[in-house]
Structure 1
Amino acid sequence: MNIFQQKRLVLTFYVIFLLFVPLVIHLFFIQVLQGSEYKQKALEQRTLKVALEDIPRGGIFDRWGEKTLTLGRRELRVVVFPEIIPDKEEAVRRLSPILGCSPAELAKYVTGRPGYLPFKLDSRQLRQIKELEITGIKVEEIYFRYGSAPLAAHVVGHLGPITDNDQLAKLNNLSEKKYQLTDLVGKSGLEYFYESRLKAGESRQVMRAYVDVYRRLLAGLGIKKESQAVTGRQDVITTIDWEIQKTVEKVMDQKVQKGAVVVMDARNGDLLAMASRPNFHPANITQALAGPQDALLDHCTSLYQPGSVFKVVVAAAALEEGLVKASDTFVCLGESEHLISCWHKPGHGPITFEEAFAQSCNPVFAELAIKLGPAKIIAYARAFGLEEQTIIGYPVPRDNRQNLHLIGEPYNLVNSSIGQGPVLASPVQLTAMMNTVVNNGVYIRPRLVKGLRDEGGRFVSYFPMGRSHKVISSETARELKRLLSLVTSRGVGREAMLPYYGAAGKTGSAELPGGTTKVNAWFCGYAPLDKPQYIVTVLVEEGISGGVTAAPVFREIMEGIILPTR
């Protein structure tokens, strides 16, 4: 073989080699990198499948990671594989009397794709259906995401269909998880904020029928129940205390038609309960949309005029700046006051500052606001978190209506001193403000989500407790706590007082537009008095007053959740 032939042979080898390289790489991708995906596709082609959960998603759990806020439940249901039922008419005839439905109604479920029937079964029906031994019909437990009365519905949020191909493309770009137009996705709350983390690639458990090309059951395989250890879902672990949330919602169902309640752990700023009314059921959004306009609104994070609860900020600023002492005397002329009238129309007459705080005397706080000036009030309100809308783990969009600078605009200062006019705050913000006083003047950012947990029970993301900063001195905080205790012992908030434990806090009655005598009634406080466990804020919309309407709700909730200290 001459040199020319050798070179041509070598060249031919390299050409063949180069032609085979892409093929080898392609086979590597198919068999190694994408092997599991193609294996799954091949399995789907030769089997029929029914997912044994209605919505394959991660759970939204309480602070211990044990109980779901959705109160998911398991129910026995009839699973049908229509393609392998030998005689559908006979199956319908025998099954309909057991299920208590007409043959016509049942017939539509035994055609088309595999699935489960919408009829709950009792033990008698279970036994009778098993005795039928109809090929293609089984009874299995189905896991339903939502129970009859889920907790913290506004926090959890709700699901809805994918609206169009643009949204589908956007969802598929969020992560490696694949979406289809038939999927349900988060539309609000934690379901929305953690959509890509909650979504599961498939159900944890499925019923699978192994069939041949003619859709006949394969001998030896038949219909099997299979479990998947890894489905791609993650769980959201919140700071919500399941028992406290349940207690709060029970009280609200009885006493609050419209409003909000927030409960915070006085030690660390964790939100232990958040409940809004009117309520809705996440599994029945159509009914919610047909109800009150604000049924889907999270009132706990919505902005309201806080009324006299804002006097805590004015009092803190005046005490910290040395402009007032508890024994300083003022004069209240009631409705004859030139700056602002007092709710007590005859007037309190000569009144000390501590009495003015306990009785929520408007003219005294208007006078203090003028002495302080808007700049100082704005600075203290900001330090108390009344412009901080961030909740750790719960990224609600910012509401730009909250603007403390408006306090400094002409004619706004006096109204702002009593929490009216441009002053806006959410129940969560007011709860964090009160917690600052309880924690000796240290503000702690509220937290709602601890982190995300994988299917092995390990945290894959963790949200540490909130940042803190000093707002007022410990001496000022101590004096404020004493003043807050006077509100419940001899002031306008006596209905909030708890036997044995004691309580402290501040009432608020924010006027509503339209000339109505109704107000947004507030009580924001804490208990026990000596060693506070919880901060609770109650908002009752369209109430009588903070002391009459909100304070009793505060007391009842505290009585239900407070831990014994004897």
Structure 2
Amino acid sequence: MGILRSRRMAGLFYILFFCFLLMVAHLAVIQLVRGDHYAFKALEQETMSVDLEDYPRGQILDRHLQSLTGETKANRVVVFPGLIPGREAVAVKLAGILNVDPVSLTPFLTGDPCYLPFTLTPAQSAAIRKQNWPGVLVLPVSFRYGAHPLANQVTGYLGHIDSGSELAALNQNSSKEYRLGDWVGKAGLEKYYEPELKATRPLAAARVFIDAAGRPLPGVHVNSREPDPGRDDVVTTIDAGIQRKVEAIMDKKIDKGAVVVMDPHTGDILAMASRPSFDPQPDKLPHYLASSPQGAFLDQCTTLFQPGSVFKIVVAAAALAEGAVTPQSTFTCLGDKDPLVHCWYAPGHGTITFARGFAESCDPTFAQVGLKLGAAKLIKYARLFGMDNQQITGYPVPRDNRQNLQLIAAPHALVNSSIGQGPVLETPVQIAAMLNVIVNNGVYIQPRLVKEIRSSGGRVVKTFPAAPGKRAIPPATAEEMRRLLYLVTTRGTGQAGYVSGYGSAGKTGTAQVDGRGKLNAWFCGYAPVDHPRYVVVVLARGDGVSGGASAAPVFQEIINSLMASK
């Protein structure tokens, strides 16, 4: 009986001791792990505050750690209405300094603490500070968006959580707390990396303490927080300087289309731009959501299009690698009377070598090459060139299942596929990666858009290594293809894409969009020709004349702009 009682006591002791350990562990988590969080929550309950950051989130950065959204700081008037004596008189004098109607200030001086939506000049800032009004301060506020944010379709945009299902999904997939009405990423990198970007607190805040009745106590305290452990930055491969140049040229030359600039040796995307575009600033976004031009939110760099004759790069490389042709092989082109497919050159090229057929983008030549090569081998090489791989390292765009290389083997599809029409669909990013194979001596590298995730303190918390290269074609074939691509810009359809002083090589493409004469014009090329630094893909949609006339000059201007800054 005594032994049994002793065992019960021992068991009870161990249970109580285990519960005590759990309590200590929980207190340790609260104190050491979540201490900052609970301290911040307690501070919120004891104060009135104005966040000195419009959208508390981590930044989306370029490869040199510059903000792609154009993050900036600017002085604003911060008001705590409960501390302002004689608000009507203050409103009149403040309105005079700001050059606004005093009535427009009434909602701000009678409502909750806030900062005013007026940009201040240095003279205005000094004049307001000189008044020394209680409850009125001039403080720097961090703004997520500058005047000219870059790569808008890539970075995406923000919006409110507006449904219970969206709220539940966010709270289920993140350790951070979300509430209805919170600002979250709705598209692009803002959405894909929402859990990493969301901050747990603003960078800085202006606060006043309140008494037990909730009344503000005199004195405003401005606190800049230590680095937020919950807020991370996304570092992309984009070069903001290159992106800015590309977008400026597109705004002049392309109403609708896409441009991709890639480092041919690493697969890193240096610029990725679509037109038309939109302004991601949340106060302007509703206008675009309601009435923007069709496709303003579409990332056309990752959208499928028929590539037209730029796909002949794959066909030519496959035929050369398989020994189906040599540059001197001859074919017959009957122009618009050709039985396989009509040529853009209506009289016909007559007897034409494979090399000249590539330079002149002769469709009958490539229809014959495709038939000689066969669907199975064309599909094999298209896969080796990444023509069925829509993945971009660090950029989890959903796959578009309309892309299906097996359709090349369907009855009567091979001829059209050999000239980049029919079932062949590719994205501009895939076309850039395809051309990289030629520059890289036959090695395919999957494109990369995101390099790493960094904490707000600058520590790298996750990396996205470049994908390993895979052999697609022999080096000798890649070398022969470089000679053919140089012929295009020196003696063929792409002469408008030749870059004097550096040399360039590339391929034109023109794809029919519908039966009403609309054309998508392509040019993909690289420069300098001897030591390539950039692969550039240009797509001018819907109103192009041809790849040589509409897209090649844009390529030339982009390369000239990039090389001028080096």
Q: TM-score, normalised to structure 2's length?
A: 0.93
Q: Which residue number in structure 2 is paired with residue 239 of structure 1?
A: 237
**Cα deviations across residues 283-318 of structure 1 (Å, max 9, x unaligned)?**
122222211121000000000000000111111111
Cα shift at 1:102 = 2.2
> 1:96 touches 1:102 (CA, 8 Å); kept in 2?
yes
Distance of 1:22 and 1:446 partners within structure 2: 50
The answer as to 2:477 corresponding to 1:472 is: no
> 2:48 touches 2:216 (CA, 8 Å); kept in 1?
no
Equivalent position SS for 1:149:
coil
Cα shift at 1:175 = 2.2
Q: Which residue number in structure 2 is paired with residue 138 of structure 1?
A: 137
User: Aligned partner of 2:416: which letter?
Assistant: N
Q: Which residue number in structure 1 is paired with residue 194 of structure 2?
A: 195
1:227 to 224, 229, 233: 224
Distance of 1:445 and 1:340 partners within structure 2: 33
Q: Which residue number in structure 1 is paired with residue 60 of structure 2?
A: 60
Q: Which residue number in structure 2 is paired with residue 39 of structure 1?
A: 39
Q: Which residue number in structure 2 is paired with residue 376 of structure 1?
A: 377
The answer as to 2:302 corresponding to 1:294 is: no
Distance of 1:24 and 1:344 partners within structure 2: 83
User: Aligned partner of 2:90: which letter?
Assistant: A
Q: 1:161 to 1:115 in 2, by over 3 A?
A: same
Within-5 A mapping of 1:479-490: 479-490=480-491
Cα shift at 1:113 = 2.1
Distance of 2:405 and 2:487 partners within structure 1: 29
Q: Which residue number in structure 2 is paired with residue 262 of structure 1?
A: 260
Which deviates further from its counterpart, 178-187 or 479-488? Answer: 178-187
Within-5 A mapping of 1:192-341: 192-215=191-214, 218=217, 222-231=219-228, 232-283=230-281, 284-289=284-289, 290-341=291-342
> 2:392 touches 2:447 (CA, 8 Å); kept in 1?
yes
Q: Which residue number in structure 2 is paired with residue 159 of structure 1?
A: 158
Q: Which residue number in structure 2 is paired with residue 539 of structure 1?
A: 539
Equivalent position SS for 2:57:
coil
**Cα deviations across residues 355-388 of structure 1 (Å, max 9, x unaligned)?**
1010000001000111111111111111100100
Distance of 1:380 and 1:216 partners within structure 2: 73
Cα shift at 1:80 = 1.1
Q: Which residue number in structure 2 is paired with residue 522 of structure 1?
A: 522
Cα shift at 1:22 = 10
Q: Which residue number in structure 2 is paired with residue 355 of structure 1?
A: 356
The answer as to 2:409 corresponding to 1:408 is: yes
Q: Which residue number in structure 2 is paired with residue 434 of structure 1?
A: 435
Distance of 2:33 and 2:528 partners within structure 1: 60
Which deviates further from its counterpart, 318-327 or 81-90? Answer: 81-90
Equivalent position SS for 1:300:
helix
**Cα deviations across residues 149-179 of structure 1 (Å, max 9, x unaligned)?**
1111111111111011221122122222112
User: Aligned partner of 2:498: which letter?
Assistant: M
Equivalent position SS for 1:108:
helix
Cα shift at 1:124 = 2.3
Distance of 1:487 and 1:403 partners within structure 2: 29
Distance of 2:97 and 2:380 partners within structure 1: 70
Equivalent position SS for 2:109:
coil
Which deviates further from its counterpart, 432-441 or 113-122? Answer: 113-122
Distance of 1:155 and 1:473 partners within structure 2: 34
Q: 1:139 to 1:350 in 2, by over 3 A?
A: same
Within-5 A mapping of 1:441-480: 441-480=442-481
> 2:260 touches 2:301 (CA, 8 Å); kept in 1?
yes
**Cα deviations across residues 34-83 of structure 1 (Å, max 9, x unaligned)?**
55444333322221111111001111111122x11111121111111123
Q: 1:92 to 1:23 in 2, by over 3 A?
A: farther
Distance of 1:162 and 1:225 partners within structure 2: 29
Within-5 A mapping of 1:95-110: 95-110=94-109
Q: 1:209 to 1:327 in 2, by over 3 A?
A: same
> 2:82 touches 2:216 (CA, 8 Å); kept in 1?
no
Q: Which residue number in structure 1 is paired with residue 116 of structure 2?
A: 117
Q: Which residue number in structure 1 is paired with residue 398 of structure 2?
A: 397
> 2:56 touches 2:202 (CA, 8 Å); kept in 1?
yes
User: Aligned partner of 2:227: which letter?
Assistant: V
Distance of 2:477 and 2:123 partners within structure 1: 68
> 1:130 touches 1:138 (CA, 8 Å); kept in 2?
yes
**Cα deviations across residues 399-449 of structure 1 (Å, max 9, x unaligned)?**
000011111111111111100111000000000000001101100110000
Which deviates further from its counterpart, 305-314 or 131-140? Answer: 131-140
- State the aligned residue count: 554
Equivalent position SS for 1:208:
strand
Distance of 1:483 and 1:45 partners within structure 2: 71
User: Aligned partner of 1:536: which letter?
Assistant: V
Q: 1:278 to 1:129 in 2, by over 3 A?
A: same
Distance of 1:555 and 1:225 partners within structure 2: 52
Q: 1:168 to 1:271 in 2, by over 3 A?
A: same
Distance of 1:492 and 1:263 partners within structure 2: 21
Which deviates further from its counterpart, 157-166 or 20-29? Answer: 20-29
Cα shift at 1:101 = 2.2
Cα shift at 1:129 = 1.5
> 1:375 touches 1:408 (CA, 8 Å); kept in 2?
yes
> 1:83 touches 1:215 (CA, 8 Å); kept in 2?
no
Distance of 2:491 and 2:554 partners within structure 1: 18
Cα shift at 1:142 = 0.9
> 1:47 touches 1:210 (CA, 8 Å); kept in 2?
yes
**Cα deviations across residues 436-463 of structure 1 (Å, max 9, x unaligned)?**
0110110011000001001221110001
Q: 1:36 to 1:530 in 2, by over 3 A?
A: closer
Percentage identity across paired residues of the two chains: 52
Distance of 2:128 and 2:442 partners within structure 1: 66
Q: Which residue number in structure 2 is paired with residue 126 of structure 1?
A: 125
Cα shift at 1:17 = 7.5
User: Aligned partner of 1:343: which letter?
Assistant: W
Distance of 1:401 and 1:27 partners within structure 2: 54
Q: 1:224 to 1:527 in 2, by over 3 A?
A: same
Q: Which residue number in structure 2 is paired with residue 83 of structure 1?
A: 82
User: Aligned partner of 2:59: which letter?
Assistant: G
Task: Provide structure 1 residue ranges, at least 5 long, that are not aligned to the other structure.
Answer: none
User: Aligned partner of 1:235: which letter?
Assistant: D
Distance of 1:319 and 1:427 partners within structure 2: 24
Equivalent position SS for 2:403:
coil
User: Aligned partner of 1:520: which letter?
Assistant: N
Cα shift at 1:104 = 2.4
> 1:521 touches 1:539 (CA, 8 Å); kept in 2?
yes
**Cα deviations across residues 217-241 of structure 1 (Å, max 9, x unaligned)?**
546xx21211111322101110001
> 1:84 touches 1:216 (CA, 8 Å); kept in 2?
no
